[in-house]
Amino acid sequence: MKRQYTNKELIFSALNNERINAVPKFFMGTAFLAQQAGVSSKHFEEDQELYVQTNIEFSKKYGTTMYDAGFYADVKEQISDMKIESVIQSIDEIDKLECYSIAKSKALDNIAKKIYMYKKNDSSTPIYVGVRNTPMLVAELLGVASFYKKLVRDKRLIEETSKALEPILFEGLTKIAEAGCDIVWIPMPTISGTCISKKSYVESCHVYSTRFIEKIHQLGMKAIIHTCGKWNDRFDVVMQERPDAIHLSETNMSEFASKYGEQVCMMGNISVLNTLLYGEPEDVYRESYQSCMEAGRYGNYIVAPDCGVPANVKEKNIEEMFRASEVAARALYS
Ligand SMILES: [Zn+2]
């Protein structure tokens, strides 16, 4: 008889790269869920009770296996006016980071409240928090355009800002772990292959991304890297960072799976824009089924959209993505 797992056992087994022979479901879509709840995204994120309730209802309806407790990314917000594009432009300005106070972080407070509410309702479903890692936050503080220039012309500024940010971010991760988070989800759109060269990534980001994941592991949590954008030329580098899962986008699933499927839990790759937003239900079904069959043969694939789901995606498309994964799981494992 097939063993019955709790969501936590199922996801942790998958993240430990065991053959789970199931296709767990993951969903991320604050904008979509806010629309369902009939409020703006901003209101939704701040109204912890509504947020948690809506996520729990969605999870019950579709059988998704992880709860979303929000995003920790308020360093820039706290130390400056968000309208300023570039908060740090030179080594002297790194001092501005000294104004950041973890105790005053509204984002951390909000996350802790959400985690508490989820756990009160159900302690057997793992909880994840999105966090901008060190290079992503450096890019935000330098301003994205300036960050790209400095990657070529002023690597020292990037290096020094990264070093100064690490203790702040590690303290944030510690608070997140203490609040009861199980998994940290790390999106990397600004530093993907769509935006910077592999050389720049290796020289200025890789060490800090690696240390960020090491810290997550030391704190007893799991790390999911979201390679938001193209990453095909640098999967070898990201694999050295030892993520517990890779949440893929814009990737040839079959190629990725045959190369890395034995080594790491795979997630995602169902196109949010081309398929979920602009496709018909049968397109969604086809893509989702195919992804599940290609990655699922390794027994460690989590079906998921390739990024956050926008508000105006048709609910029928979400249904079809998950229905296809159930059909594929039966074909693969029963
Ligand atoms: Zn993304």
Residue entry with tokens 């355009």: 145
Q: Which long-range contacts (CB under 8 A, 24 or more apart) does 155-163 make?
A: 155/203, 155/204, 156/91, 157/88, 157/90, 157/91, 158/204, 159/204, 160/91, 160/94, 161/88, 161/94, 162/134, 162/135, 162/138, 162/204, 162/208
Q: Residue 318, class by beta-carbon neighbours within 10 Å (0-12 exposed, 13-18 middle, 19+ buried)?
A: buried
- Residue 2: pLDDT band with limits 50, 70, 90: low
CA of 307 to the centre of ligand 1 (A): 4
Is the pLDDT at 3 greater than 70, yes or no?
no
310 in any annotated domain: no
Residue 287 lies inside a defined structural domain of this protein: no
Instruction: For residue 55, report the phi and psi dihedrals to the nearest 5 degrees.
Output: -65, -40
The domain spanning residue 112 has which CATH number? Answer: 3.20.20.210
Q: Name the pTM for this structure.
A: 0.97
Give the span between the Cα atoms of 280 and 275, in whole angstroms: 7
Domain-embedded: residue 192:
yes
Where on the phi/psi map is residue 304: left (φ > 0), alpha (ψ -120 to 50), or beta? Answer: beta
Residue 163 lies in a domain: yes
- The answer to whether residue 262 is domain-embedded is yes
Q: Is residue 7 part of a domain?
A: no
Q: What is the pLDDT of residues 287-312, one digit of tens each?
A: 999 999 999 999 999 999 999 999 99
Per-residue pLDDT tens digits for 157-186: 999 999 999 999 999 999 999 999 999 999
How many domains, in total, are found in the chain?
A: 1
- 307 domain-assigned: no
Instruction: Provide the pLDDT for residue 96.
Output: 95
CA 95 to ligand 1 centroid distance, Å: 31
Structure confidence at residue 169 (pLDDT): 97
Query: If you measure from the C-alpha of residue 267 to the centroid of ligand 1, how many angstroms do you get, rounded to a whole number?
Result: 12
Domain that holds residue 35: 29-268
The Cα diameter of the chain in Å comes to: 64
Q: From ligand 1's centre to the CA of 178, what distance in Å? A: 27
Q: Is 64 part of a structural domain of the chain?
A: yes
Cβ–Cβ under 8 Å, residues 306 and 47: no
